[in-house]
Amino acid sequence: MVAAAKLRRAQNAILAARPYARRMYATLAEIGRREGGAEHPLLQPHVQRDTLELVVITSDRGLCGAFNGNAIKRAAAYLAEQRGAYRQFDVAVVGRKAEEHFRRHRRPVAAWTGLGTVDYRQAVAIADHISKRYLAGESDGAVIVYNEFVSAIHQRPTVLQLLPFSPDAELAAAGGVPPYEMEPDAASLLNALVPNALEFTIYAALLENQAGEYAARMTAMESATRNTDELISSLTLQFNRARQAAITRELVEIVSGAEALH
């Protein structure tokens, strides 16, 4: 019941964020279309592809079925797919379950745990970490792995490229930015918009993952409650049968004894 109540709030947060994302990506796409020479360091791919940073998002707590396991498996599968493209892989984790898993296999370069309810400042901290490493040449790309909320019974493990940053084409097409004048210039707009868009992309992933966690926990607890009720019913039936058999046996013994005395 608690997870169901939190799920409704998480869904409302996702729906409220989507119009902002559409308009932001559409603005970036329009700047790129009109000002072909405008560039930003976070938009430019590195010539060398040595190190890829993987940001894996899970929950801090369990009791949500295969929710966390699916995200970790998707991250491991993606690392295997990119084995020939990069020489080194660094992992940053969000959530205690991811930290516990990767601490046994590889040391995370960064970890954020105990976050609770998603806050935009959390996305700012994660974006600041990966963008600093990308600009310093410590990584040549960054992707994020999270569970996308599809429905209350379906959460899809998703891999999304963060750096070099590329606006979502579908959301950009749906943004519908009208003609406008740019001041002071395209480069200044990109310097303000690109870091903000990166932060918001991470924030949206955190919201999706949080909604998926609540949905998975609600489904898992509902299934556990149903299984418990079925088990109680089965054990109660077995107990009543055993008690009835014992009573019947005692009656047979009493009647047999009476017949023997007679």
Q: Over pLDDT 90: what percentage of the chain? A: 41
Please report whether residue 246 resides in a domain. no
Neighbour tally for 182: CB within 10 Å: 15
d(CA 38, CA 210) in angstroms, rounded, equals: 36
Please report whether residue 257 resides in a domain. no
Task: Tell me the three-class secondary structure of 117-146, residue by residue.
Answer: CCCHHHHHHHHHHHHHHHHCCCCCCEEEEE
Q: Is the pLDDT of residue 20 over 90?
A: no
pLDDT value of position 71: 94
Q: Which residues are catalytic?
A: 64
Continuous segment of H or E residues that includes residue 89: strand 88-94
Q: Over pLDDT 70: what percentage of the chain? A: 92
Which alpha helices (H) appear in 41-95, and where do they start and end?
Answer: 67-81
Q: Is the pLDDT of residue 147 over 90?
A: yes
Please report whether residue 256 resides in a domain. no
pLDDT value of position 159: 93
d(CA 11, CA 29) in angstroms, rounded, equals: 27
Which alpha helices (H) appear in the chain, and where do they start and end?
Answer: 2-34, 67-81, 96-105, 120-135, 169-175, 186-261
Say how many domains are in the chain.
Answer: 1
Q: Is the pLDDT of residue 72 over 70?
A: yes
Each residue of 166-222: pLDDT tens digit?
A: 766 665 565 565 566 777 777 788 888 889 989 999 999 999 999 999 999 888 888
Please report whether residue 230 resides in a domain. no
Please report whether residue 68 resides in a domain. yes
Neighbour tally for 209: CB within 10 Å: 26
Structural domain that includes position 132: 2-220
Cα-based distances in Å from 40 to 63, 96, 97, 141, 166: 43, 34, 35, 15, 11
- Supply the CATH number for residue 76's domain: 3.40.1380.10
Please report whether residue 107 resides in a domain. yes
Please report whether residue 84 resides in a domain. yes
Please report whether residue 54 resides in a domain. yes
